[in-house]
Chains A and B, each alone.
Chain A
Amino acid sequence: MPPQESTEKVAEEQSSFSRSTSKVRDFFSIPAPVKQLFDLVPVVTYPPNQLPLRAPKSARIPSLYVFSKDQDAAAGRPSFNPSCLKWQTFLNIAGVDHRLISSNNHSSPTGSLPFLLPAIYGPNSSQDSLVPITSNKFVKYAIEHGGKVEESSSMRYEAYQSLLDHRIRNAWLYTLYLEPLNFSAVAYPLYVLPTSSNPLVRASISHQLRSAAEAELLKNTSIIDTDDLYSEADKAFEALSILLGEDSWFFGSDKPALFDASVFAYTQLLLDDDLGWKEKKLCRALRRRANLVQHRERLLVRYFGGS
Chain B
Amino acid sequence: MLELHVWGPAFGLPSLDAHCLAAIAYLQQAVPRGKWQLIASCDPALSPTNELPALRNGDIWIGGFRNIFHYLAQCSAGEWVLDAGLPEQEGADCIAFSSFVESHGQPLIDLSLYVSTQNYTTTTRPLYSTLLPFPLPYLTPPSIRATAKQRTSHLGLSSLDIDSDDSSPSASQSIIPDSLRRPRNTVSSLLASNPEASAQIRLDALATSFFEPLQKLRAKKRFFVSESQFSSLDCLVLGYLSLMLVPELPQPWLAQCMKKKFPSLCSWTEELRKTVYGAEVTVHDAFLTKLGDSELDLRMKRLRGRGHLPWKAPDNGGALGIGGVFLSGVADGIPVVGQLRRNTRMRQHGGLTTEDGVESSSFQYLTVIASVVAGLGAVAGYMFHEGLISFGDGEEVKEKGNGDGLGSLGEAGAALGFYANQMDEQVRRQRVMEEMNARNVVPVTEVDVDVEVERTPVL
Contact = CB atoms under 8 A, between A and B. Distances in A.
14 contacts: A83-B457, A105-B457, A114-B457, A157-B213, A162-B103, A163-B95, A163-B99, A222-B147, A222-B345, A225-B67, A232-B99, A235-B95, A236-B96, A242-B89
B459 A212 contact: yes
B374 interface: no
Nearest to A165: B103
A239 interface: yes
Please list the 5 inter-chain residue pairs (A to B) with the smallest Cβ-Cβ separation, ordered nearest first: A112-B457, A155-B216, A242-B92, A239-B92, A159-B100
A292 B95 CA distance: 17
Q: Which of A162, A191, A218 has the most CB of B within 10 A?
A: A162
A214 B454 CA distance: 15
Contact of B49 (A81, A156, A225): A225
B455 interface: yes
Interface in B86-110: 88-89, 91-93, 95-97, 99-100, 102-104, 106
B342 interface: yes
Contact of A213 (B49, B147, B216, B459): B459
B452 A215 contact: yes
A228 interface: yes
A209 interface: yes
Given A105-B457, A242-B89, A221 B99 contact: no
A167 B99 contact: yes
Interface in B193-235: 209, 213, 216-217
A67 interface: yes
Interface string A210-235: 00111110111111111010011001
A106 interface: yes
Given A105-B458, A212-B456, A162 B104 contact: yes
A273 B217 CA distance: 38
Given A158-B213, A212-B451, A239 B150 contact: no
Nearest to B97: A159
Contacts of A239: 91-93, 95-96
B3 interface: no
B455 A105 contact: yes
A226 B451 CA distance: 25
Given A158-B100, A212-B451, A212-B459, A222 B49 contact: yes
Given A159-B99, A219-B151, A242-B92, 12 more contacts: A105-B458, A111-B454, A112-B456, A159-B96, A159-B100, A160-B96, A209-B455, A209-B458, A215-B452, A223-B345, A236-B95, A236-B96
Interface string B48-59: 111100000000
Interface in B36-91: 44, 48-51, 64, 66-67, 70, 88-89, 91
A208 interface: yes
Contacts of B44: 222
Interface in A86-101: none
B51 A106 contact: no
Given A219-B151, A220-B151, A166 B455 contact: no
B261 to A, nearest CB: 16
Contact of B99 (A108, A162, A222, A228): A162
B349 A159 contact: no
A137 B149 CA distance: 27
B346 interface: yes
Contacts of B93: 156, 159, 239
A113 B457 contact: yes
Nearest to B154: A219
- Most chain A beta-carbon contacts within 10 A, residue among B66, B92, B147, B458: B458
A243 interface: yes
Interface in A254-299: none
A108 B457 CA distance: 11
A150 B97 CA distance: 23
B350 interface: yes
Given A191-B458, A242-B89, A242-B92, A111 B453 contact: yes
A177 B97 CA distance: 27
Interface in A137-188: 155-160, 162-163, 165-167, 169, 172-173, 177
Contacts of A208: 451, 455
Nearest to B216: A155
Contacts of B346: 214, 218, 223-224
A67 to B, nearest CB: 7
B193 to A, nearest CB: 31
Given A67-B458, A166-B103, A219-B151, A225 B64 contact: yes
A155 B221 CA distance: 15
Interface in A231-254: 231-232, 235-236, 238-240, 242-243
A158 B51 contact: no
Contacts of B454: 105-106, 111-112
Which residue, A163, A209, A235, A239, has most C-beta atoms of chain B within 10 A?
Answer: A239
B81 to A, nearest CB: 14
Contacts of A223: 48-51, 345-346, 349
A224 B349 contact: yes
Contacts of B350: 226
Interface in A41-80: 67
A228 B459 contact: no
Contact of B456 (A191, A216, A235, A243): A216
A220 B70 CA distance: 20
Nearest to B217: A155
Contact of B67 (A84, A157, A228): A228
